[in-house]
Amino acid sequence: MPITSVDKDLDALTMTVIADFAASRQRLWEAYTDPRQIEKFWGPVEWPATFTRHDVYPGGRSHYVMTGPDGETSAGYWEFLAVDPGHSFEVRDGFADSDGTENTDMPSMRMTFQFEETEGGSRLVTTTHFGSLDQLEQLIGMGMEEGMTSAMSQIDQVLADLESFAAGKGVDLAILSDTKIRVSRVIRGTVEQVWRAHHEPELMKKWLLGPDGWSMPVAEPATEVGQTFRQEWAPNEGVEGEPFGFTGELLETDPPHREVTTEMMIGMEGEPAINELTLTPVEGGTLLTLVITYPSSEVRDIVLGTGMTDGMEASYARLEEVLA
C-alpha cells in the first residue's frame, strides 16, 4: 500500500494524503497525466474509471465515469487551474453528469497534486481543500478517504508496466462506449512540432497519407472556430482505390494542446463524427490522444472494420520520420 499517511485538518478544512513509490517522479507524473494510465487506478477497485477527456494544461478539463459492480455509474470532472509539468497540478474537482457537465447540486473541491523526488523514488502529496466543515464531513462520510485508499492501491502495478505506454509501441485503441473510441500514440517530437504537423498543409501532405501508395492533394486546415477544413486523398498511379476525402467544422481550439472538430466523408449524408485531439508532453515525445464520437454504434463498427487504426499507425510512423 503506497499511502503512508492521511491527515484531516478540521481547522484548515483540508485532507492531505501522502503516498510513496519506488518509481521515478517523472514516471509517477505520467501515470497521472496519461488517460490510459490514470483510468487504471483513479476509481476504487470495485468502481473502475473511464476517462473520456484528460487535458492537463491550465484551462483544460477531464471527464471520467466510474462504473460500479452492478452497472451503476458516478461521473466526475477536473478543471485544471495550474500545471507545473513534472512537479504539480491543481484542479477543481467535482461531480458531473454522464456527459461531463458539472452537477451543481453536489459540492466541488480544490485539489493539489505535488510530485516530489525521494531517495527511494518519488512521493505524491495530494491535498483536498473543502469549502466548509459541513462539506468536509459530507464527503468524508460518503467514503472519500476509503475510495482514495482503494484507488491508490492499484498504482504500483501501473507504474511497473513500462512497455504498454512507451514510445514506439504503436497505436493503442480503446473502446470507451457504444459510440466513443480513443486512439493514443506517443509521437517522437515536441507538442509544438506535432501541432504544426496537423495544421501546416505542406507538412500534412508529407505524413498524413495512410498506407503506402497514396497522396494527399488537398490539405486545407481550419485555424479559427467556425472555419471548415477539407482533406482529400488519391491513389498513386498503379495503386488500386478510389479518391476520397473528409470535411468538417472546427468547434474548439486551444493551441498547441487541444482542438475539437466535426468530421464527415465528402459526399456522404448523415450525422458527423466528433473528433477531440489532445497533445500532452511525455518522456520520449508527445502523447497524442484522439477521442472520436460516432453517431451510432453501427457507424463505429463500420469505421473500425475498415482497418482505420492500421492506416493511422502508418501515418504516425511517417510523421516521426518527418519530424526527425
- Dist CA 81 CA 314 (whole Å): 36
- Percentage, residues of the chain above pLDDT 70: 98
Query: Is 223:253 a contact under the CB 8 Å cutoff?
Result: yes
All three cell numbers of 73: 455509474
Give the mean pLDDT of the chain. 92
Rg (CA), the chain: 21
pTM for the full predicted model: 0.89
Residue range(s) in the chain whose domain bears CATH number 3.30.530.20: 3-161, 172-323
Exposed, middle or buried by CB within 10 Å (0-12, 13-18, 19+), for 162?
exposed
DSSP 199: T
At residue 163, the pLDDT reads: 65
**Whether pLDDT at 306 is above 90:** no
Mean pLDDT of 181-206: 96
**Class of 3-161 per CATH?**
alpha beta
**Whether pLDDT at 231 is above 80:** yes
Mean pLDDT of 283-296: 95
Give the Å distances, CA to CA, from 186 to 81, 85, 110, 235.
25, 17, 30, 28
- Percentage, residues of the chain above pLDDT 90: 73
At residue 97, the pLDDT reads: 87
176-193 pLDDT, tens digit each: 999 999 999 999 999 999
Bond before 221 cis per omega within 30 degrees? no
- Residue 29 CA from chain centroid, whole number: 14
45-97 pLDDT, tens digit each: 899 999 999 999 999 999 999 999 999 999 999 999 999 999 999 999 999 98
129-181 pLDDT, tens digit each: 998 988 888 888 877 778 788 888 888 888 888 667 766 678 999 999 999 99
Which option is the CATH number for 172-323: 1.20.1240.10, 3.30.530.20, 3.30.70.20, 3.20.20.70? 3.30.530.20
At residue 111, the pLDDT reads: 96
Give the residue ranges of DSSP H helices in the chain: 25-33, 35-38, 133-141, 144-152, 155-160, 191-197, 201-207, 297-304, 308-323
**Whether pLDDT at 241 is above 70:** yes
Query: Is 282:186 a contact under the CB 8 Å cutoff?
Result: yes
DSSP 48: -
pLDDT band at 23 (very low <50, low <70, confident <90, very high): very high
- Dist CA 61 CA 257 (whole Å): 12
**Whether pLDDT at 1 is above 80:** no
